């Protein structure tokens, strides 16, 4: 992936299996969020091929016969301040017009309860704490349209989901990543700098630097490997192969 004359990702070969929870880690500016945008179809690679469920990925369009079910939780909750919680969560369901308003409301209430937010449907985003807003964004990502023509498990993308949260809120969100992924029977790709998020919300880790994967393996392996990139990341050391301009 190139932006103008700058190469962000090069020689990156990555496979993510159905049902896996993969953490993509590395210093700031190495292309972690770019990977999510490629997976979401918001960008097309400058060179190479990207496919989901064996089907080559293109920009997501509403007129596709069988659009891929890709859902993204952004670093900020990205809620519409002028809409209630219920309207934020059910926005796409209402827009599709395949469900009645009563069915949309019922599904919204169900997923809000799943993320621990019973009874907040009529509140506005500004009336919620940062952690609660984050959970609303999770609810928006997992609310399902039973009439949508999707034939594969959903792919959930989480961009720095615990950034700026206190440790207790981090734990709640980390548990939420696992719970919501299992709730929809999907696959998760999580971008994070937070070690607790890597440990609790993933079963595989990809260490990104220099445009490609410097290491990949299990979370347990990530904790003990002598790979110099992973070792520097774990210890937050200034000494190592990762240069200051990337940190």
Residue 22 has pLDDT above 90, yes or no: yes
Q: How many Å apart are CA 187 and CA 181, to the nearest integer?
A: 6
Q: Which helix (H) or strand (E) holds 181?
A: helix 167-183
Largest CA distance in the chain: 59
* Fold assignment, 2-69+152-246: Rossmann fold (3.40.50)
Average pLDDT over residues 8-20: 89
Q: Which helix (H) or strand (E) holds 37?
A: helix 32-39
Mean pLDDT of the chain: 86
Q: Tokens at residue 183, please?
A: 């709730």
Average pLDDT over residues 215-229: 96
User: Which pLDDT value is given to residue 55?
Assistant: 77
pLDDT category at 34 given cuts 50, 70, 90 is very high
Residue 57 has pLDDT above 80, yes or no: no
User: Which pLDDT value is given to residue 207?
Assistant: 96
Residue 220 has pLDDT above 90, yes or no: yes
Q: Tokens at residue 161, please?
A: 């989901």
Q: Which helix (H) or strand (E) holds 169?
A: helix 167-183
Nearest to 114 by CA among 96, 95, 141: 141
Q: Which helix (H) or strand (E) holds 156?
A: strand 155-159
Cα dist from 120 to 136, 138, 179, 207, whole Å: 10, 14, 20, 38
Q: Are 233 and 242 in contact (CB under 8 A)?
A: yes
pLDDT category at 182 given cuts 50, 70, 90 is confident
User: Which pLDDT value is given to residue 246?
Assistant: 46
Rounded percentage of the chain residues whose pLDDT exceeds 90: 40
User: Which pLDDT value is given to residue 146?
Assistant: 64
In this predicted model, what pLDDT tens digit does every residue of 96-145 receive, in sequence order?
778 888 999 999 999 898 888 999 999 999 999 888 898 898 888 888 76
Residue 148 has pLDDT above 70, yes or no: no
Domain span(s) for CATH 3.40.50.300 in the chain: 2-69+152-246
Average pLDDT over residues 207-213: 92
| CB count in 10 Å sphere of residue 26 | 23
Q: How many Å apart are CA 108 and CA 241, to the nearest integer?
A: 47
Of 59-73, 165-179, 180-194, the poorest mean pLDDT is in: 59-73
């Amino acid at each position: 992936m190139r932006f103008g004359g700058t190469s962000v990702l090069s020689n990156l070969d990555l496979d993510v299996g159905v049902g896996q929870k993969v953490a993509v880690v590395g210093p700031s500016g190495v292309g972690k969020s770019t990977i999510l945008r490629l997976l979401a179809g918001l960008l097309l690679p400058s060179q190479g091929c990207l496919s989901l469920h064996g089907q080559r990925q293109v920009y997501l369009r509403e007129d596709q016969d069988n659009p891929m079910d890709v859902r993204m939780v952004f670093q900020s909750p990205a809620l519409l301040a002028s809409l209630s919680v219920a309207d934020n969560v059910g926005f796409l369901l209402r827009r599709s017009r395949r469900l009645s308003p009563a069915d949309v409301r019922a599904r919204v209430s169900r997923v809000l309860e799943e993320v621990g937010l019973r009874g907040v449907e009529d509140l506005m985003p500004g009336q919620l704490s940062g952690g609660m807003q984050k959970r609303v964004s999770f609810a928006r990502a997992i609310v399902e349209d039973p009439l949508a023509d999707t034939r594969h498990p959903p792919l959930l993308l989480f961009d720095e989901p615990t950034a700026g949260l206190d440790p207790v809120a981090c734990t709640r969100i980390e548990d939420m990543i696992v719970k919501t992924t299992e709730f929809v029977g999907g696959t998760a790709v999580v971008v994070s700098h937070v070690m607790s998020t890597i440990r609790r919300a993933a079963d595989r880790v990809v260490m990104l630097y220099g445009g490609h994967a410097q290491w990949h393996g299990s979370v347990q392996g990530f904790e003990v490997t002598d790979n110099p990139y992973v070792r520097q990341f774990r210890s937050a050391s200034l000494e190592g192969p990762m240069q200051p301009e990337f940190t």
